[in-house]
A and B are shown apart, each in its own frame.
Chain A
């Protein structure tokens, strides 16, 4: 048995409303909501459509493809991230262009300093050891 010797990175607390999203990650799907009222895609997942306020929606698997809309390469970070410096956090615009938020996560599998605005990326999934949570990151497409 190994002894944990470093601070662990925080993880999100899935909410009751969004269980299908977090379960989707385990099944290698990046799910977004599609409004049954007006057909809009949306992200972040919320109980109502930002366009028509309808509360009827379906979970659909997004392509997981997108482009880097903006990013920052981080050289100073908290204790849990010391081994990762430098790392790049991007805001990704998905192909489906869901309302209202971009998808924020790390760009991995490339040099942190090689990321650029407009870079095509694709979502990837990471099961966190010892935790019942899968997180999403992006890698060059």
Chain B
């Protein structure tokens, strides 16, 4: 059975404040985002059939209680393009008509600074193959991938640094981005920032902040009578290769993006050149270089060169992450929906004029999570 191309649409989006939000809780951010996205769509909480909260099943239960109704769990945990793909399947199967993806995080951090400082008589225990005993954390995982990449393909850190430079420039055009106020940066700034885990410097690593968002998906038929012009989901795919960090694949490439990207584009009947705007997961500089390869924009080993030269910048061949991305806009715990929200806003033509792509019609979004080769999702989005 083919993907229900064009039969499902994104009708509501909402971003809370992003950044250090000491007065907020994850729950309050979720509620604000949920209500905000429904309002954006012209829907009410009573219209919701299913939720896909980043907090998983426990949080879904809380939403059922809050809405005083039985809801269908869409399951994917606000995983951006992967979540929208699952929502499309639910809606097309008639299991739900209105699905809301919800993410909110406050007060928790992902980096090594969040590891326990407790002094205990015995060693704390983790699961059998958890890498924590080796002092590993997410940046170090991607660093190992980057190290291998630079070695095999002869690429340089200076090439990767261009990703940070481009997305920071976009952030300066986005008044709601976390890092925009710090101004533009250069390749030298990136190379001069402190080393986190070789070869990744601080400015090659994403932010780690608070914030929430929500995305409302429904049938295109229902969407036609709602408040905003619907953004149609022309293609959607998701794949998972290696979720737990307890395992370590013997090859980093290709990644699940090599499956989800081509599949979503085939469903939509589009090619790379058709895209006017992109949202590409950018937890680290290396991530973007690798994704451009696996998604078919360039060949394996060409990514580090491909992401330079202004190609991904506003006015370039493929304007990407115009909000500033995870590197300079926001990374709020489970941020894969952020790229999707920016592409939706670009297609609607509702961002600040300084960073608005001129009259975009077709966008592409790729998100991922959980691991270097974890859960990936791709969507092709379009506006009439």
Interface set of A (CB-CB < 8 Å, partner B) = 4-15, 18, 44, 69-81, 84, 87, 89, 91, 93, 99-102, 104-106, 117, 128, 130-131, 133, 135
A72 touches B151 (CB 8 A): no
Q: Within B332-350, which residues are at the interface with A (CB < 8 Å)? A: none
A12 touches B140 (CB 8 A): no
B144 touches A72 (CB 8 A): yes
B118 touches A78 (CB 8 A): no
A89 touches B140 (CB 8 A): yes
- Pairs across A and B, CB under 8 Å, 27 listed: A4-B119, A5-B119, A8-B120, A9-B135, A10-B124, A10-B132, A11-B124, A11-B133, A12-B127, A12-B128, A13-B126, A13-B128, A44-B247, A71-B147, A72-B143, A72-B200, A74-B135, A76-B139, A78-B115, A79-B116, A80-B116, A81-B135, A93-B250, A99-B250, A101-B249, A105-B134, A106-B134
8 closest A-B pairs by beta carbon, nearest first, are A78-B115, A79-B117, A72-B143, A70-B148, A81-B135, A78-B112, A8-B123, A72-B197
Choose among A10, A69, A70, A73 the residue that contacts B126 (Cβ–Cβ < 8 A): A10
B123 touches A131 (CB 8 A): yes
B119 touches A6 (CB 8 A): yes
- How far is B252's CA from A102's CA once the two chains are assembled, in angstroms? 11
Nearest-neighbour CB distance to chain A for B20, whole angstroms, equals 19
Choose among B148, B197, B199 the residue that contacts A76 (Cβ–Cβ < 8 A): B197
| Residues on the A chain within 8 Å of B135, using CB | 9, 74, 77-78, 80-81, 84, 87, 89
Nearest-neighbour CB distance to chain B for A26, whole angstroms, equals 16
- Extra inter-chain contacts (16) besides given A11-B123, A73-B197, CB under 8 Å: A7-B119, A8-B119, A8-B122, A10-B124, A12-B127, A70-B148, A75-B195, A75-B196, A75-B197, A77-B112, A78-B137, A79-B116, A80-B117, A99-B250, A100-B250, A104-B131
Nearest-neighbour CB distance to chain B for A76, whole angstroms, equals 5
Q: How many interface residues does B have (CB within 8 Å)?
A: 47
Nearest-neighbour CB distance to chain A for B175, whole angstroms, equals 30
B194 touches A75 (CB 8 A): yes
- How far is B144's CA from A6's CA once the two chains are assembled, in angstroms? 28
B94, CB-defined interface residue at 8 Å: no
| Residues on the A chain within 8 Å of B196, using CB | 74-76
| Residues on the B chain within 8 Å of A5, using CB | 119
| Residues on the B chain within 8 Å of A117, using CB | 147-148, 151
Question: DSSP class of B's interface residues: helix, strand, loop or mixed?
Answer: loop
A130 touches B119 (CB 8 A): no
| Residues on the B chain within 8 Å of A79, using CB | 115-117
- Quick one: given A72-B140, A75-B196, A89-B140, are A10 and B147 in contact (CB under 8 Å)? no
A44 touches B246 (CB 8 A): yes
B186, CB-defined interface residue at 8 Å: no
B148 touches A69 (CB 8 A): yes
| Residues on the A chain within 8 Å of B182, using CB | none
| Residues on the A chain within 8 Å of B127, using CB | 12-13
Choose among A78, A84, A102, A130 the residue that contacts B122 (Cβ–Cβ < 8 A): A130
Nearest-neighbour CB distance to chain A for B242, whole angstroms, equals 9
Choose among B111, B117, B136, B247 the residue that contacts A101 (Cβ–Cβ < 8 A): B247
B248, CB-defined interface residue at 8 Å: yes
- Quick one: given A100-B250, A101-B250, are A12 and B129 in contact (CB under 8 Å)? yes
A44 touches B197 (CB 8 A): no
| Residues on the B chain within 8 Å of A4, using CB | 119-121
Nearest-neighbour CB distance to chain B for A33, whole angstroms, equals 14
B225, CB-defined interface residue at 8 Å: no
B198, CB-defined interface residue at 8 Å: yes
Contact indicator per residue, chain B 128-162, by CB within 8 Å of chain A (1) or not (0) = 11111111110110011101100100000000000
A13 touches B148 (CB 8 A): no
B126 touches A12 (CB 8 A): yes
| Residues on the B chain within 8 Å of A102, using CB | 248, 250
- Quick one: given A44-B129, A72-B144, A101-B248, are A128 and B136 in contact (CB under 8 Å)? no
- How far is B145's CA from A130's CA once the two chains are assembled, in angstroms? 35
- How far is B230's CA from A31's CA once the two chains are assembled, in angstroms? 58
Choose among B114, B118, B120, B140 the residue that contacts A74 (Cβ–Cβ < 8 A): B140
Closest residue of chain B to A90, judged by CB?
B144
B113, CB-defined interface residue at 8 Å: yes
Nearest-neighbour CB distance to chain B for A80, whole angstroms, equals 7
A91 touches B125 (CB 8 A): no
B128 touches A18 (CB 8 A): yes
A72 touches B128 (CB 8 A): no
Residue in B133, B137, B139 whose Cβ sees the most chain A Cβ within 10 Å:
B133
| Residues on the B chain within 8 Å of A131, using CB | 122-123
- Quick one: given A13-B127, A101-B250, are A71 and B144 in contact (CB under 8 Å)? yes
A10 touches B118 (CB 8 A): no
